[in-house]
Amino acid sequence: MLDLTLTDITDILGGRLVLTDSAVAAGWAPESVVSGTVDTDSRLIGEGDVFVAKRGESDDGHRFVPNAVEAGAALVIVERESDVAVPQIVVPDSVDALGAFATEVVRRVRALGRLKIVGVTGSNGKTTTKNLLRSILERVGETVAPRDSFNNEVGAPLTMLKLTESTRFLVAEMGASGKGEITRLVRMAKPDVGVVLMVGLAHAGEFGGIETTLITKTEMVKDLEPTDVAVLNVDDHRVASMADKTAARVVWFGLGERAEVRATDIDASAIGTSFTLHLPDGSSSPVRFGVLGEHHVMNALAAAASAHELGVPLDVIVAGLESVTRAERWRMEVMGGGDGVVVINDAYNASPDSMASALKTLAQIARPDQRTVAVLGEMSELGPYAVEEHDRIGRLVVRLNIARLYVVGEGARALHLAANHEGSWDGEAVFAATADEAFDLIQADAREGDVILVKSSNSAGLRFLGDRLAEAHS
């Protein structure tokens, strides 16, 4: 974070500075400078950091103010006072204050004239694209990007607050569960390059349908200026329709001839995907991409297009792409293999699009002597589309000739029923009520050469089943 006095921060937040007697005795004054990391998790607070006490649905961060102070917090931002020996700024709403804080820090760093911002959104692929961009851009200059999937009204500002005077690039992952949320994040840190990856059914239940999802994702590019760049997926007709809704110059990425940044000669295997990258200036280069799954090539193209627009040379782009060997923890993560059983743990998130892509990858990469096994759980937040989409995935499993299917949890029951109806199988599709039950069933039937895909939404918890299976076969 930038070096700021307590008075500076109080003015930015529109709050009230409170210095208890014990804080004054400890040497704190309005002109004292704070420069530590800002976080809402007291467990991550260290010496000199800033703790923001946020009220949640099931807990209240104010309970952890003493823990944060004990861990070394130099400042706490709260909605009600505590009796602590460090300064505290009292605000009406800590989340709003966090957004105001981030907006001003971005403004100050931008005023120095070096900072470039890339905003990334889409129904799938945001975190992978963000990681690829970080790998590329940090080779050129100091780069700030989110940890994990910090892309909402709390996570995005926390990332922005990591900016320093020497930061050259900010990669801002911008997610949403409803209209206006991406606009809010864009107005905190308006991108020089705005990326839209795809518009699908992820979170469709929260959005209220695919058309609302389209409107919401369009927020990424609608406020861009003619000097900015919109990096759009030409192969997704919904994303392509955004070209008429932005003043920015459009750069297309995709696999077809219309794409200005595209991939040819794609070859997917169990160790990654190779392809030839083509840029708008006519240059091209082979890429040995270690992230598993042909669908991740689109994320690589989006990252390459963005970096190219920021002036990054082709060889640096390729080096950045090739250095990333997994999308993220629990995202197409190849594990196990010690006894000939490979586990692909992709159970951090799931939508109909990402589920279909993962299953196609499983079918594509297995050798003829390997058996394909899919362990699938619920795709959450689909609302009225839930039964239909689970049904579609169950039928896809059969059509891809996946050898064995384990469906875990009542929320995915429709997937199991659809697979049976589609294939008239005799025991190839198995239902397990719990992850423990599934583990026992899978282990009893596992054989050397199996390639096991574990895929579900985060809420289904199958990522831990994937870890457990990988450990058993390490």
Taking only the tens place, the pLDDT of each residue in 286-329 is: 999 988 888 899 999 999 999 999 999 999 999 999 999 876 67
98 band by pLDDT with thresholds 50, 70 and 90: very high
Q: What is the mean pLDDT of residues 257-276?
A: 92
Q: What is the pLDDT of residue 151?
A: 77
417 has pLDDT over 90 = yes
Report which of residues 270 and 396 the model is more confident about: 396
**122 labelled ligand-binding:** yes
**128 labelled ligand-binding:** yes
Return the DSSP state at 29: -
167 has pLDDT over 60 = yes
pLDDT, the chain, mean: 93
Q: What is the pLDDT of residue 424?
A: 55
**474 labelled ligand-binding:** no
**126 labelled ligand-binding:** yes
Q: What is the pLDDT of residue 201?
A: 67
Give Cα separations from 426 to 5, 211, 463 (angstroms): 70, 40, 28
Fold that domain 4-92 belongs to in CATH: 3.40.1390
93 has pLDDT over 60 = yes
How far apart, in whole angstroms, are the C-alpha atoms of residue 386 and residue 378? 9
Report which of residues 212 and 316 the model is more confident about: 316
**The pairing of beta strand 284-289 with beta strand 333-336:** unpaired
Fold that domain 333-472 belongs to in CATH: Protein-Tyrosine Phosphatase; Chain A (3.90.190)
**CATH 3.40.1390.10 occupies which residues in the chain?**
4-92
**CATH 3.90.190.20 occupies which residues in the chain?**
333-472
**5 labelled ligand-binding:** no
**129 labelled ligand-binding:** no
Report for 16-25, 200-209, 319-328: range of highest mean pLDDT: 16-25
**CATH 3.40.1190.10 occupies which residues in the chain?**
97-322
pTM of the model: 0.86
How does DSSP assign 400-457, residue by residue?
TT-SEEEEESGGGHHHHHHHHHHH--SSSEEEESSHHHHHHHHHHH--TT-EEEEE--
**159 labelled ligand-binding:** no
Q: What is the mean pLDDT of residues 432-447?
A: 96
Out of 3.40.50.10860, 3.40.190.10, 3.55.50.30, 3.40.1190.10, select the CATH number for domain 97-322: 3.40.1190.10
Of 141-150, 310-319, 338-347, the poorest mean pLDDT is in 141-150
Q: What is the pLDDT of residue 376?
A: 97
Could you tell me what percent of the chain has a pLDDT over 90? 79
